Amino acid sequence: MSTRATFLARRVVQAAMVVVGVVFLSFFLVRLAPGDAAMAIAGETGYSDPQYVADLRREFGLDKPVLTQFGIYLSKVAVGDLGFSYQKRQPVYDLIMERLPATLLLAGVVIVVSLIIGIFVGAVSAKYAGRFVDGVLRIFLMAFYAMPSYWLGLVLVLMFSVHLGWLPAFGIETMGGDPAPMARALDIGRHLVLPALTLGLFFAAIYARLTRAAMLEVVNLDFVRTARAKGISETRLFIRHVLRNALIPVVTYAGLQTSALVGGTVLVETVFSWPGIGRLAYDALIARDNNLLIGIFIFTSVLVVIFNLVTDLLYVVLDPRMELGK
């Protein structure tokens, strides 16, 4: 038990260090990019004068030396204040919290859906390894992995929204829809289908592949041979021993994929006008909304770190015999 505790404690400290690194690096990285929020706003309004640009810089604190800006920022972040968004003129924390549920919902559904599809297909593939079913399944799912997600999104919209008219093409809910909770949940569910499929099929392909590979490896291990020799039924053996052990790399990888998932939402949220963090990040970047962008970096990094810690925990649960060092 104590080894587990030390292991997790060490992970927490390491994770905290990485988050601090994120704060430092993102702050300076974002400021290295040419142009600033004042220029972007002054240009976009189509009419500007020196006072306008200067006013904006003063408002945003961009008129101070970079190191001073960094000092101010650090002192704020230290007490949990992520500052104000230049573009949206609201606290960054509020903006992120407004958008977070949409992204979490999408990401959560994507993780669940892709794991279910991926593990199922992977298991079937492994069971029939080398046979026709295996080949077809692998290539079918891998094709989804190979498609650019935004492109798949566009094609799905064209098919299911424009042609067949089955599903809504964009947004998270119908405006002025039925406010009753059940009806609303259903409505959101319908809006969720296409974006979740777009991203979910991509990750499902990865998980299927991992599950298959891991299961094939486990099948050849000694304990499985022993179990088989003991006369345990094939199905039971397959599920209890093979699948369970094969899940370890899959779960690990799913944990490591959280940051990729957040990145993936940028595109999918753009294609489906999903009101989430990913799109917010893109908008913040092009407008040099530094505080917002850094805030999103910090926030998502913390999320990923937490997710990885949970993965580590799962790791321990799934495989009690594993060595807890490196």
Partner 1 sequence: MSALRRFLRNGTAVIGLLAFLAILAFALLAPVIYPGNPLAIAGAPLRPPGSPNLIAGSDMLGRNVAAGLAYGARVSLVIGLLSALLAIVIGAVLGAVAGYFGRWVDDAIMRFTEFFQIIPSFILLMVLIALMRPSVTATICGIALISWPQVARIVRAEFLVLRRAEFVEAARVQGFTTTHIITREIAPNALSPVIVIGSILVANAILTESALSFLGLGDPNLISWGYMIAASRSAMRLAWWTTVMPGLCIALTVLALNLVGDGLNDAFNRRLGEGGRA
Partner 2 sequence: MELTRSLTTRRGFLQSVGGAAALAATAGYPEWVFAQTRSGVLNAMLNVEPATLNYALLNTSVIQSVCGSINESLLLFDWQLKPQPNLARSFSVSPDGLVYTFELEPDVKWHDGKPFTSKDVVFTCAKMLRELNPRSRAAMDRCESITAEGDHKVVFKLKEPFNAFILAFMASTGPMMPAHIYEGTDFRNNPANTAPIGTGPFKFAQWSKGNFIKLVRNENYWRKGQPYLDEVTFRIIASAEQRAVALETGAVDMAFGDDLDPIDVPRFRDSPGLVMVQNAYDAVGEITLMEINQRTAPFNDRRFRAAIMHAMDRNFLVDQLNFGMGRVADSPIFSTVPYYDPKVLTQYEYSPAKAKALLDDMGLKPGAGGVRHKFSVLMLPNQDGPWRRAGEYSKQALADVGLDVELQSTDVATFYKRNGDWDYDVMWNSYGQFGDPAIGMSRFFLSNNIRKGVPQTNTQGYVNPKVDELLQKGATAVKREDAQAAYSELQKILTEDVAMLWMYERRKPLFHAKKFKDVVLGPNGPCDGFGAAKPA
- Interface ranges with partner 1 (CB under 8 A): 14-15, 17-19, 21-22, 25-26, 29-30, 32-34, 135, 138-139, 142-143, 145-152, 154-155, 158, 162, 209-210, 213-214, 217, 249-250, 252-253, 256, 259-260, 262-264, 266-267, 270, 278, 281-282, 285-286, 293, 296-297, 300-301, 304-305, 308
220 is a contact residue toward partner 2 (CB under 8 A): no
Q: Say if CB 126 and CB 300 are below 8 A apart.
A: no
Judged by CB under 8 A, the residue of 1, 2, 51, 65 near partner 2 is 51
50 makes contact, choosing from partner 2, partner 1, none, with CB < 5 to 8 Å by partner type, with partner 2
| 3-class secondary structure, 171 | coil
Cα separation, 326 vs 309, in Å, equals 15
Q: How far is the CB of 33 from partner 1 (least distance, A)?
A: 5
Angle between helices 244-256 and 258-272 (to 10 degrees): 60
Rounded (5°) CA angle 132-136-138: 115
Shorter beta-carbon distance to partner 2: residue 101 or 135: 101
Q: How far is the CB of 66 from partner 2 (least distance, A)?
A: 16
φ/ψ of 149, rounded to 5, equals: -60, -40
Q: How far is the CB of 165 from partner 1 (least distance, A)?
A: 14
Q: How far is the CB of 33 from partner 2 (least distance, A)?
A: 7
| 3-class secondary structure, 24 | helix
φ/ψ of 65, rounded to 5, equals: -60, 150
Radius of gyration of the chain (CA): 24
Shorter beta-carbon distance to partner 2: residue 161 or 252: 161
Judged by CB under 8 A, the residue of 166, 185, 226, 256 near partner 2 is 166
Helix and strand numbers (H, E) in the chain are: 14, 0
Query: Which DSSP string corresponds to 74-133?
Result: HHHHHTT---B-TTT-SBHHHHHHHHHHHHHHHHHHHHHHHHHHHHHHHHHHHHTTTSHH
Judged by CB under 8 A, the residue of 175, 182, 229, 317 near partner 2 is 175
Q: Which residues are near partner 2 by CB under 8 A? A: 33-37, 39-53, 55, 59, 84, 87-90, 95, 98-99, 102, 154, 157, 161-163, 165-177, 190, 270-273, 275-276, 279-280, 283, 285-288
